[in-house]
A and B are shown apart, each in its own frame.
Chain A
Amino acid sequence: MDSSVKGGNVTGRLAETGGPLSAGYLGIVKESLVRLSPRRLLSNPVMLAVELSFFLTLILSIFPGLIPKVTTPSEQPFYMVVAVILFVTVWFSTLSDSIAEAQIRATASSLRKIEQEVTAIKLDKDRNPSEVSSKDLRKGDIIMIRKGDHIPIDCEVLEGIGMVDESLVTGESDLVQKAPTDSLIGGSILRSDTLIAMVSANPGETYLSRLIAIVESSKRPKTPNETAISILLLGLTIGFTIIVAVLLWFSVILHLGVDLSVLLALYVCLLPTTIGALLPAIGISGINRMSSRGIIAKSGKAIEAAGDTDTLLLDKTGTITYGNRTAVAYIPIGGHTEREVGEAAFLSSWNDDTPEGRSIIDLSFTKGYFPREFASIDRAEAMEFSAATRMSSVKLEDADEFVLPKGGKGILQRRRMRRKYIRPDTGDEIDISKGAPDAIRESVPECPSGYDDMASEISASGDTAMAVAVGTEIVGFIRLRDRVKSGIRAKIEDVEIMGITPVMITGDQELTARKIGSEVGIDRIVSQAKPETKMLLVTEEQKGGKIVSMLGDGTNDAPALAVADVGLAMASGTMAAKEAANLVDLESSPGKIIDVVMMGKQLLMTRGAVTTFSIANDLAKYFAIVPVMFSSLPDLQRINILGLSPHVAVLAALIFNAIIIPLLIPLAMRGARFRPRSTMSIFLRNAMIYGFGGILLPFAGIEAIGILLNLIPGGIV
């Protein structure tokens, strides 16, 4: 949704690859011909049946009098034309597969460019460095990464703490702190410090390669609806085979004068060839549409479940708001001054380089609130700043809750932050803490009057209140303001129009959450969420028969991601989250969960539309062929509503049947037109276009082709 911000990401790069046909037209045609082998068509019974019909007509073209009762030698040219059309029909099908495959290979190779070959510094047992190519690294190797280096391959930090820029891989612009046991993604860049790390994957087996391999794999998992459609197509194929066989039987017994080639033509026309030919391509293209936007589906089920979403869990921070809350005011309380609050806030935030912390420093500077203790900070800063020293200076109440700070995660995961300083004049130790109002209140013996009211007031206005305490005395609040992302309101509206319930989940106070919720149009709010809240919410919704989609990145999210029907993990998130999720967003753009839902719907719609269209087409084909197929029953001419002569009628129907496949390839690749509407209105619109349109269009199409065929001088055959 805010892809404009993330210029250098996957989507942007894809455009440079030259589009889907980079494999070359010749390669695609060649592959489509290879796919014509009957063995490769075994998984597609509809097209296999068409190919077998082709072989039969081919035999008839060579030996036109082979079966006396149902063939006529003088019809040889007609048999040849039918054989050619049938061949082309099958070829159109394999061609659509090949185009879709070429397209997805192009996508995969553009994704793969992220992981480039670089020079790495490998350490031997005695820690002696040597330069090697990243391609030669193996799992278990120890490497050294220096400030400014590209991280050569997926690895795990052993020693050191450093700030890493993962934007090349994930699109996330904020630096991420990495400490021992954290994993590093190959392709990202170390911006500070030096790290020692152990290679965790062989080249080609990295997380990214594995994801890309899923995209490229020909063993892509079939989605449940794809399976069901395959069953439907098999059933229809069996049904029409029996009908046509019995019709042949009757024709012989009752002397109805049906020609075998005409019967085979009717057979192929009745078979749902359109959906049979395009079903694989539709699936591949659906996955491709996701992949080209940087979303990798680990299971086919997830793509469809996305379309089925009833409840969408949205994190407030990052998805609905930018998440980099800014301090906008200091509010003193209990007789303290604004300056006291400002100075205390300054001290508490000096080394807090979250956006919030930085904005507090900014605000204090602007207002001129320099604390006396500044000198001691100065000394502290004299030491070279590194993530490691910051780590040692931070003391936290509850170490279990500590998660390395990363843009915008402040309040939810760190309920309270406390720092100690030595007063330069008295040498006394002072203890400054800031945090959520209730967390701070719990830590002090006495709470000033009006504390709760002020906290509520700040929350009710949609801002976040952060309380500041000096020693055991609360001095006031920092008013933090978050910005709602542009365009999110329209997206939420779309989601609601489609009958999906968005749920906003946040660690904020109820009132703050409500304010933001009403601003973007979300009614269901879960505030003051704890890490386990998401998981509970997901299972509760599922018990009520809802399909739940969510997004997550932290280790805390992993259980919820695992149980959610659609769990979209950010590539920038923890490995646990990514493993638990069934979709991974390489760009780590939180708002994309909504796009995933729409892409899922579009895939389902496209399949349903082509299936319906294909079956609806049969009516016209019956009316074109049946009245003219019984040469001994001239009376049937009276229901020949298209008025075409036997040869022309059969060929026109067959040609229509064949060319509709390439005509619909763009639809299969692009997906049926999708606008967020209520499920019922989407359904009705498509039912009119593909259902009723599917019944009527072939009447016109066959008639038009018939007229064109009649223009051929001397007749078609």
Chain B
Amino acid sequence: MKIPEKFSAPLRMALVSMVLCGLLFPVVVTGIAEVAFPYQSVGEQATLGNHTVGSYLIAQEFNASVFFHPRNDSASGVDPDITISDAYSQIPGISNATGLSSAILMNTVDKFVQYTMISFGTEYMNVLKVNLYLINTYPGIYSHYVSG
């Protein structure tokens, strides 16, 4: 079947643009990303020992009361962060469960403070980062809450 001339140019151009934008472009970006940013390109994976235990960017469930807990209501549903005031409100419970003093826990939280406006704004922290720090710093307390 012969395609009318009116339609042949747009059809060919559609195919050309699909290959260019839909295939070549993402593949090239992937190549550059893997070489330049091997850590980021696969989702900023968090490791514990030699195991990948998730991504710093994606919230994961923490059930044990020795850990800080992420929110469970949020837009993405996987918000990895909590506000510092939220973190402070969790400290008494964690202190009870771990025996670590509130002061130590507050100091720990303060080490991980980030700001919503980069250098000002609301203070928040990454839950997984703080929990992994606690696990690595106080292995005696945390080791049997960690699987594997």
Complex: A in contact with B (CB within 8 Å): no
